[in-house]
Chain A
Amino acid sequence: MPVVELNLNRIKKLISGSVTKKKIVDTLPFLGLDIESQDGDKIRIEYSPNRPDYSTDFGIALGLQGLLGIKKGIQKTNIKKNTKFEIKVDPSVHEIRPFVTGIIARNGKIDDETIKQLMNMQEDLHFGIGRKRKKSSIGLHDLEKISFPLNYTTTTREHSFVPLNSESKITIDQILTETEVGKNYGWVLGDSKNVPIIVDSENNTISFPPIINSAVTTVTTKTKNMLVEVTSLDKDAAEDMLSVVTTILGMAGFEIIQLIISGKKNSTPKLNSRVIQYDVKFTEQILGLNLNPSNIISSLKKCRLDAIQKGKKIQCTIPRYRFDILGPMDIVEEIALGYGIENLVPKLSPSQTLGEKSFLTKKLEAVSKIVVGFGFTEALNSSLTSKKVLFDFTNRDSSQIISVMDSKSQEHTILRDSILPGLIENLSKNIHESYPQKLFEVGTVFSKADPICETINLAGVMAYKESNYSEMKSILQSILKTGFKIDSTTITPKDNVAMFTNGRHSDIFVNEELIGSIGEISSDVLDNFKIRTSVVGFEIKLSGLIFD
């Protein structure tokens, strides 16, 4: 979950109503925001990835105003017309990154905290709805450094300019291979020969999307007027992003002015709101609340939406930046939030169904009971394990290994095809505990099939000086006979199986089908695990034996 850091004094100011800090903190969770930590007036908030407007304190203040009843309904952002500011789109961008959109924000005040908040927003937009800048990306620029009209076009990788955080001109190639941001996001451009670029009328490079801006247009605390540009693979996605920025800059006190976009498939953004028809009966059906239309309207307005009654329906107006709202179900949620989750009273309707455990669960419970009865304590290991434990230490055949990709943990890289190695590892971690030690585990093991076969196995180990094959055979035999009522068990000696001692190991067959094996663990395997006592173990397949 993405995180934003707020200052309560600043939030209080932005809300501009009489409200205590405590009330603000208490209300935050009811916007769907999780308080991660609080240190005095500093507060770290986790917000949902579907609400990029909450990536700044401006957006959160906007939401709080609604729930606290200070300002309700849509926050209107008027976009003033103009003819001065324009981006012309060159057809050459179509193959690489076909869309551009943008806006001009004027006469705002930018302090250090605002810069921090805007950077947090930019990062969130890039990572979330921008899909790591691949789908869309955004740039903020100091308007005064730019001469219009701009040109969104392409250039070669030899093109050079002074990028952000640099003092000298370097080529696009160098940016992609030598700078950190280039290395992190260069993949977005693939291996295309030409790359997208925004240049101004004096041919100065403004931005190399989606990688980096030029140094000259950097936004600082001296900046009053800004250009916002968004480039994208998808026109709607670009306008989604722009709408969030526009709303936030509007809330931050900027005057918003149109940026004309001209060129094939591109157009000047309108950022119009949408209307969704909402059927009142939904509130009762979904929430179990009998609210009259005016209650519903008031609840929606508290969520900074607009609504009016039209006959039996309610006409909801959704501002452009709330693209998370897809249909009536989302409207219902807004009603619940506006009404107040704390006002929803839980009700327990009697169940008319009888609950039941699955057949498998019942069987496995019975298995555990029997094995515990033989004095074995239950262990639990991960299905994801390491090659070291599963194959290397136990000398087992690893040709049918199933691996996961890019695991962050070295101990969890492959799926187990057997339970026994894990139990032996457990013994190795308990050599300081008193003996005898007897462990068992019931769990899923994996093998390659079409595409994967999952079976449930039972394995047990017994470790102490006098433990031996015959004792374990006697236990296993009793489990099968008295526990599972299986009479026709055949045990055949087996040689040269790496994990076990030669001559003290056998396969187990039921109705001529191999169901598992049993044996004394060989001394070199025990050495690998640094176990200094005798160990005997068994493993059998339960799937197909006591259930299908």
Chain B
Amino acid sequence: MSQVLHDIEKKIIDSLQKKSEQTPEHLSESTELSIDQIRRGIEWLRLKELAQVQESSKVEISLGQNGIDALENGLPERKLMKLIQDGPKTFDEVRKSLSGVGFNAAIANAKKNGWVTIDKSQSGSRISIKEKPIETPEEKLILLIGVKSIPEEQIENKLALKFLLQRPDYIIQNTEKSKIVSLTEKASHIDFTLSTTGAIDVEADVPLVFAARTHPLKDAIDEIREIFIKLGFSEIQGNLTQSSFWNFDALFTPQDHPARELQDTFYLENMKSEKPATSRQIKQVSASHSQNWRYNWQLSESQKMVLRTHTTSVTIKYLAEKKPDEARIFSLGRVFRNEKVSYKHLVEFNQIEGIVIGNNTTLRDLMGIQKEFYKQLGITKIKFWPTFFPYTEPSLQTMVYNEKLGKWVELFGMGIFRPEVTKPLGITKPVLAWGGGIERIAMLKYALDDVREFYNNNLNWLRTV
């Protein structure tokens, strides 16, 4: 017997081996399982051909409204006999007393039983006792049924039942269907003492559980970080809040440039950096702005604190401080834009930016790094288009062919820092910069078309992606 049985099944079989035919209700009592468990168990056993179910129907007899009245007060014909036991009565007198309990039925049945004589005269019919009434089979049956409900098959006098059934509302017939469960041949021989103890139904359904994991976007970020490292870049870190000086001024963005306005940049209310940079840096940057953009540069504008709009603020600060002759570095983290949130825009997203300074720093080298970067991501169909960034010249953007959309999409940008940016900060070597938003790449990876999904923290997605 290789079949593994559930505890419920075992209990049902055990009970049926002791008493061979039982209704589910009986089984529930004998096994102390709930009726639902019994029903389920029977169904399993039936499918395994260990039990069979026979449907049977049974008619139960009980008294109706008039039957109960007859039980308490006698049948109408019996009542009639009581009325005339002291002498004959006219129909009118009798009808008055019997009204509502079937005068006609009383007369008809008393006559049929041969209990009464009816004399017709001009003043109306008179009724009198013919012979002393005995107890009828119908009356016996009513007494037998009483207030209980009894199976039809227990009634011997079928004729009396037939008569009573013909009279209205004396007898109620209730057909009850019931199931009788019995074991099949196979099951009656199951010996529980021989089966493997502790075995369970290995095929039974079990609940789905989920492994804890790092965030999918974090995984994408880590993957991109690893590629930068593989390409020889080292990571630097910086603050999310920056003075306007490092976010804009040091990058040659004029103070009246539309990009600096409240509607694009998050300024922090009543927050300023007293001394955003060294006096020399401030002096040089200010001079570069005044000379090239021809306006009056204000220190107060550069002191305003903002949420960084790009990681370039971190990179440029690093370069201005360390002035390396040769380096490959990158900076990765969140950046902020005051935009309306939509399926393609977030107010806060991740950006990565790599810098090459030193030898082999031509635009073609930069393009080569891009190509290798995308190759590492598994993207080989790329091309370059010219573009514009305020602080690089020349500037290019990578276009990547998206097979799913069937079109070219813009990914990372790149360029060489303008001398107007580097010179005032004392950086003498050419600086190549490249990078862009990470969510865009992660969207390709997870086939998402709504960037907000990354920050919804929807457990259904996190658990199954």
Q: Using CB atoms and an 8 Å cutoff, list the residues of chain A in contact with chain B.
A: 29-32, 34, 48-51, 127-128, 131-132, 134-135, 234, 236-237, 284-289, 326-327, 329-330, 332-333, 336-337, 341-342, 344-349, 351-358, 360-361, 365, 368, 372-384, 402-409, 411-412, 415, 426, 429-430, 433-434, 437-439, 444, 446, 450-452, 454
Contacts and interface: CB of A to CB of B under 8 A. Distances in A.
Interface in B350-392: 359-360, 362-365, 367-372, 383-388, 390
Contact of B416 (A329, A344, A365): A329
Given A32-B387, A135-B256, A377-B213, A404 B369 contact: no
Contact of B386 (A326, A337, A430): A337
Given A429-B456, A452-B305, A380 B394 contact: no
Contact of A330 (B365, B393, B462): B393
A333 B457 contact: no
Interface string B142-170: 00000000000000000000000000000
A132 B386 CA distance: 27
B133 to A, nearest CB: 74
Contacts of B268: 402-405, 415, 451-452
Contacts of B237: 358, 360-361
Interface of B: 207, 210, 212-215, 217-218, 222, 225, 228-237, 239-241, 256, 258, 262-263, 266-269, 271-274, 292, 294-295, 305, 307, 326-328, 334, 336, 338-341, 346-348, 359-360, 362-365, 367-372, 383-388, 390, 393-396, 399, 410, 416, 418-420, 430, 454-460, 462-463
Contact of A452 (B241, B395, B463): B241
Nearest to B341: A409
B348 A341 contact: no
A376 B212 CA distance: 5
Nearest to B463: A377
7 contacts: A333-B386, A349-B359, A351-B232, A368-B214, A384-B347, A405-B267, A452-B268
Contact of B232 (A127, A352, A380, A434): A352
B233 A348 contact: no
A132 B463 CA distance: 49
B455 A382 contact: yes
B357 to A, nearest CB: 10
B235 A383 contact: no
A353 B232 contact: yes
A392 B387 CA distance: 45
A1 B454 CA distance: 26
A373 B214 CA distance: 10
Given A402-B271, A406-B262, A450-B274, 12 more contacts: A51-B388, A286-B416, A329-B394, A341-B385, A351-B231, A355-B233, A365-B222, A403-B269, A404-B338, A409-B347, A412-B348, A452-B268
| Consensus secondary structure, chain B interface | mixed
A389 to B, nearest CB: 13
A355 B369 contact: no
A450 B305 CA distance: 11
Contacts of A358: 234-237
Contacts of A135: 256
Contact of A355 (B217, B234, B385, B456): B234
Nearest to B394: A333
A30 B386 contact: yes
Contact of B271 (A284, A372, A451): A451
Contacts of A365: 222
Contacts of B305: 451-452
Contacts of B274: 450-451
- Give the 10 A-B CB pairs with smallest separation, nearest first: A351-B232, A288-B362, A48-B388, A355-B229, A333-B394, A346-B367, A288-B364, A348-B368, A349-B360, A358-B235
A438 B212 contact: yes
A479 to B, nearest CB: 14
B241 A355 contact: no
Nearest to B234: A356
Contacts of B307: 383-384, 404, 415
